[in-house]
Amino acid sequence: MKTVNVGLIGFGVVGSGVARLLTRQRELLARRLGADLVLKKVADLDLDRPRPVTLDKAILTPRARDILDDPDIHIVVELMGGLSPAQEYLLAAIERGKHVVTANKALLAHHGNDILSAAAARGLEVAFEAAVCGGVPILLALRQGLAANRIQEMLGILNGTCNYILTQMSQFGKPYREALAEAQAQGYAEADPTLDVEGIDTAHKLAILMSLAYGARLDLDAVAVEGISALDPLDMQFAQEFGYRFKLLAITRDDGHRVEARVHPTLIPTEHMLAKVGGAMNAVYLTGDAVGPILLYGQGAGMMPTASAVVSDIMDLARNLIHGVRGRVPPLGSHNALESTRLIKPLNDLVTNYYFRFAARDRPGVLSQISGALGKQGISIAAVIQKGREVAGTVPIVMITHEAREQDVRHALAEIDRLEVVQPPTVYYRIEDPHLHAAQI
């Protein structure tokens, strides 16, 4: 039986999971692969930490170089995280003719094009299934399973931390701070949660998904990002009254000419499959022109789910090694992806449905002044809730709009926020509801 040798840089949580799968599941993997996968070396600066897997000490090293310079290692797996020196190690591995696997979404989103170019120039493969949605095979679906489709839209819950916090807020009415503390206590959020809660991690993943969906270069700058840290449980309650739930969604949509690319808290109908995605789970809901709507759902993080994706990548590259084939499926799904770009629709040109919450002073004529300002921008109202409960001297008026243009919304809200009867700033969110045009609510 043939042997494929693997070197692992980064022996943390996910690295331990990969080591565990490669050792414990070795026989099963060999049956499926038709070859023996051998974990030949593991590099980490801290080798003394207790880990959930015990490896032969002879294969451990504190020097990444021992892996990069080992001519017998065919596949290098980078699981350190962070931009540097992860990038240098990946490029060094490619320079030495090795295929590489990484789960590093931040690195890919920022420097993926360079890494992919370097690998392409040498006919080497870069695999990164674990970078998006952990063990859920979403990249495989885009690169192969749905390859006959033009991807028309994708809505993703790509960050378990945010989804956990939002689930806590909406189920138990907890304020953001408390839900975040709970997520930290449960190990779902880091001490500095910025990357997660400000939507940055979700944007990294959306940039990767878009590249695969459209067969174009990675373009992180194209993604408009808003996080969840300013969300008020009050808006979650109102959303619920309208039949919606809040999710931090990554959204992309192709109108044939330009593509949307945005990450923000979004109201989706309670009966939408994505609304059922609770806790720290991830999901992607996408529509292909042939296949129609598809949902993929699973754990987006964690030791073993992420390791599952890393090992499936290792097996994919190993299959190519065994059969002496290169470039069978391009990493971004299209052969000319690195030379292609997509035109991005600026957020101001977005046309969608909106949720507004005005803090109105309880005086006659408030509603007419607000709706007047909206009307001037051509924004029409689909539903209103005005409730008596006074919050800090004002009464909330909540509206759902018909389709409107983001720029018009911003102009209207700027005018409304200058009204004496309204206390600024007005809160607004975007809605994803395919039925809102048809069924007037």
Q: Which residues are catalytic?
A: 205
Distance, CA of 1 to CA of 72 (rounded, Å): 16
By C-beta, is 109 or 136 nearer to a second copy? 136
Give the three-class secondary structure for 157.
strand
Among 84, 336, 341, 380, binds a second copy (CB under 8 A): 336
Binding mask 47-86 for a second copy (x = CB under 8 A): ----------------------------------------
Contact segment (CB under 8 A) with a second copy among 94-102, 154-162, 190-198, 317-325 equals: 317-325
Q: Give exposure, 190-227, as e/b (b: 16+ Cβ within 10 Å).
A: eeebebbbbbbbbbbbbbbbbbbbbbbbbbbebbbbbb
DSSP-derived 3-state class of residue 417: helix
Residue 297 contacts a second copy per CB under 8 A? yes
15 contacts a second copy (rule: CB under 8 A):
no
Residues in a beta bridge with 353: 431
Residue 136 backbone class (left: φ over 0; alpha: ψ -120 to 50; beta: rest) = beta
Total interface residues for a second copy by CB under 8 A: 63
* Region binding a second copy by CB under 8 A among candidate stretches 201-209, 259-267, 316-324, 422-430: 316-324
Q: How far is the CB of 32 from a second copy (least distance, A)?
A: 5
Give 20's contacts (C-beta < 8 A, 6+ positions apart).
52, 53, 304, 307
CA distance 403 to 23: 55
Give dist(CA 193, CA 409) in Å, integer.
Answer: 30
Give, as ranges, the residues between 17 and 36 that touch a second copy (CB under 8 A): 17, 21, 25, 28-29, 31-34
The 112-141 contact track toward a second copy, x by CB under 8 A, reads -----------------x----xxxx--xx
Closest Cα partner for 283 from 431, 103, 104, 137?
A: 137
Task: Report the residue number, 34 or 82, with the smaller CB distance to a second copy.
Answer: 34
Q: Which is nearer to a second copy, 145 or 372 (CB)?
A: 145
One of 248, 333, 382, 428 touching a second copy (CB under 8 A): 333
Shortest distance (Å) from residue 114 CB to a second copy: 22
Closer CB to a second copy, 14 or 436, in the complex: 14
> Near a second copy by CB under 8 A, which window of 54-62, 217-225, 241-249, 322-330?
322-330
How many CB atoms are located within 10 Å of the residue 2 CB? 11
Cβ contact 72:6 at 8 Å = no
Which of residues 324 and 364 has its CB atom nearest to a second copy in the complex? 324
- Alpha-carbon span 324 to 300, nearest angstrom: 32
DSSP states of 102-152: E--HHHHHHHHHHHHHHHHHTT--EE-GGGSSTTS-HHHIIIIITTTS-EE
328 part of the interface to a second copy, by CB under 8 A = yes
Contact string (CB under 8 A) for a second copy, positions 271-290, x = contact: --x--x------x----xxx
List phi, psi (to 5°) of 210. -65, -40
In the complex, the smallest distance separating the C-beta of residue 376 from a second copy, rounded to whole angstroms, is: 41
Nearer CB in complex with a second copy: 37/55: 37
Report the alpha-carbon distance of residue 92 to residue 73 in Å, rounded: 13
Could you tell me the two tokens for 268?
Answer: 């989706």
In this complex, which beta carbon is closest to a second copy, that of residue 22 or of residue 92?
22
- Which residues of the shown chain bind a second copy in the complex (CB under 8 A)? 17, 21, 25, 28-29, 31-34, 129, 134-137, 140-141, 144-150, 215, 273, 276, 283, 288-299, 302, 304-305, 307-309, 311-312, 315-316, 319-320, 323-330, 333-336
